[in-house]
Structure 1
């Protein structure tokens, strides 16, 4: 064959390339549609593929050739599995195990395994496989130069068995186990009373002043936590319609003031409630103190609240 035909040729005749792909697809279709092909027929398809490969000079056609070889290999493997040996199907693992035994790799070779008395040596676990023994048998069936490197790996290595690690049971000391703390109805009632009291305090403070800046009213410059609580208590007044929130035109400053609580008739006449979510984190708290120059809290600081959960008090 001309050696130049083996080189990659990007300028190969397009019609020749299309014809090659068409023939590859035809071979692929024949192999996939006819599952009952004989071994000789499969070999004939392989020879046809080898003939086509002599004309391959581009990646696309080489890919088709590889796919066809994979299909032929799968068909050959299936036929090998279907081969009969005695009364059962051909077992590859059993065949390999018998080879290892024959070469002295697992147990002593019995007289029935071989006719050569000189090869019937005592079993030695650390001894390597006797490849010359199987080679003498293989030479009678092959005209090729004997080579064993490709067989040395899989036949000389025992398959690893997967071990499942058992987890030790953790024994718990009952003395170290703690019962979850229970929240009683009295604890919930006490918390609700505390909220109602603080909401009423904010309402009384707003009744003494006109429209006031939202942040100047709720921010405690010395306590971020109480500033958050103040906003929480103020939300109840806004929800009930006792306090109004407006954005002042021009400055955009948020102002709050007490207002007349709407009645059901007002809602029937078309008055709508508007709900909003306000983010108030520590960065906003610091920024409000700086922008509105807040020095003292308008809402008197509350003592640190204590909450009793179960039999303990938490501050």
Structure 2
């Protein structure tokens, strides 16, 4: 029978069950340790599909949108042109009246000279050429005729002939369709041909120094306008 000494006990029985040396308690850490679970980041942009009906698409400008924009711009310009015509007529009448009232028995020629000086024709209208011609720009002259043609077409401006058979412009109010039919008002077409040489001759004949419709800034390309025909106004209102 073998004596179970202290060395034998430790060597045969205790040591096989003790794989590490004894350490202080704080080195073991907390008694209950939970393994941390790593949360995986989800990329929603890739996982979630966008409903095509809810997607925001870039706005596309259609041809009809451009047409509406151009129409709005044209309307605004024509409105300003008519205001200039009204202002020119009212101011001219006042200035001519003031001058003539200070003259003793002016002759007919003197009266017409004063009226023409202040842009008033013998029929009370504004001479078309003096109103539309821009002596600084052939291109803007054509544009002015173009704008006036729309005003005449819409009935906002009327066209008449003075004693010299020259066209004059008169602010007017568009007639309602029923009124135009009752009075038998009709629209007539006229063609006005304007080239560069004619434009220069008109400036010289009518002694046009300054445009009644203010000069607009223009680039070099728009000023290089060649000879062409401008299809002009519709007119014939009975009031003129």
The TM-score, its normalising length taken from structure 1, stands at 0.37
Greater relative contact order, per chain length (Cα 8 Å cut-off, separation 6+): 2
The TM-score, its normalising length taken from structure 2, stands at 0.47
